[in-house]
Amino acid sequence: MNDILQKHEKIDILINNASVMTSGELVDCDPEEIENVIKVNMIGTLNATKAIVPHMKENREGLIININSQAGLYYKSERSAYHGSKWGVTGMTGSLQAELSKYGIRVTGVYPGALEISMEINKTKTPRAQNDGLKYSEVIRVIRFIMDTPKDVIIPEIGIKHINN
């Protein structure tokens, strides 16, 4: 963040969009894999946000968009670590909304469903069945909509998923 701030005078928007996944029954999950899921999905989001908030507070404005997952709203069997991390991002997003609004900083949670290309599982990314996954371009349209919203309006959360999923 410091390198970016040295190069640019101002950062208006932070989009947190890192995610890793693990699945399987909890007792079968590798502890290092679980720790990595929590570190990337939750701690990475917290640290990136923590690094930029002082700058946004100073400017009395900013927009933080946390790209989360439908997994932050619902749950499935055999995904305890992943869903737990995403529910954590849901909680931090809501808490940050309440904490930062007094500084003119808006925080939005975006909850996409299954995408057209699956997340990497066992080091493989696979296309979903035709007409069964959300196109990345649709997620981008939602992000642009949030970015175009007036600075005195907040969209606390928005979900998006493919009609067949």
One of 75, 82, 111, 136 is an active-site residue; which one?
82
Using only C-alpha atoms, the chain has a radius of gyration, in whole angstroms, of: 17
CA nearest to 134, candidates 110, 165, 92: 165
- Tell me the C-alpha distance between 31 and 37, whole Å: 10
Take residue 154 and report the two structure tokens written for it.
């907040």
**Is 74 a known active-site residue?**
no
Which one-letter amino acid corresponds to residue 125? K
Q: Which residues pair with 49 in a beta bridge?
A: none
Q: Please list the active-site residues.
A: 82
